Amino acid sequence: MEKNEIFKVLNENPVFFLATSENDQPRVRGMMLFKADEKGIVFHTGAYKDLYTQLKNNPKAELCFFDMKNNVQIRVSGALEETNDSSLKEEILAHPSREFLRQMRQMAGAENFDKTFAVFALKNAKAVVWTFQTNLQPKTEIPL
């Protein structure tokens, strides 16, 4: 699978599982992708959450996406970077799928919300694609 095909699968299957670590304990949770492209794999969280602290203490993480329709699993690993790009944050807030964020911002007040709205991007990542057909083959890392 080529890099652009991987981005397409990720964007079409935006629910993923994110693995981090806290001390020596793995932590996994479901997340919602904002977008995946040449600039990185982008998602957001709140700076008040355990996830945020885990990523600040150890930015190495793995994301696991699953395309149920085609039985394709894609694991993406690398180091996450927090971004303070205000135009990207506004793009996220304006997106139709992020109505819940606009509601949270309204309830908390823009200034309070903006202080805790954290956006992360996984850049220079490596992907491993799994299918039933390739199950017994050696893993191949695909640079993203």
> What confidence score (pLDDT) does residue 63 get?
98
Given a contact cutoff of 8 angstroms between Cβ atoms, the answer to whether 77 and 125 are in contact is yes
Is residue 48 within 8 Å of 54, Cβ to Cβ? Answer: no
pLDDT for the residue 74: 98
Burial class (CB in 10 A: 0-12, 13-18, 19+), 110: exposed
Percentage of the chain beyond pLDDT 70 is 100
How does the average pLDDT of the chain come out, rounded? 96
How sure is the predictor about 27, in pLDDT bands with cuts at 50, 70 and 90? very high
pLDDT of residue 37: 96
pLDDT band at residue 20 using 50, 70 and 90 as cut-offs: very high
d(CA 84, CA 128): 29
What is the rounded average pLDDT of the residues 82-111? Answer: 95
- pTM score: 0.93
Q: Mean per-residue pLDDT for 28-36?
A: 98
Across 108-117, average pLDDT: 93
| 99-108 helix and 86-94 helix, angle to the nearest 10 degrees | 110
Length of the chain: 144
pLDDT of residue 33: 98
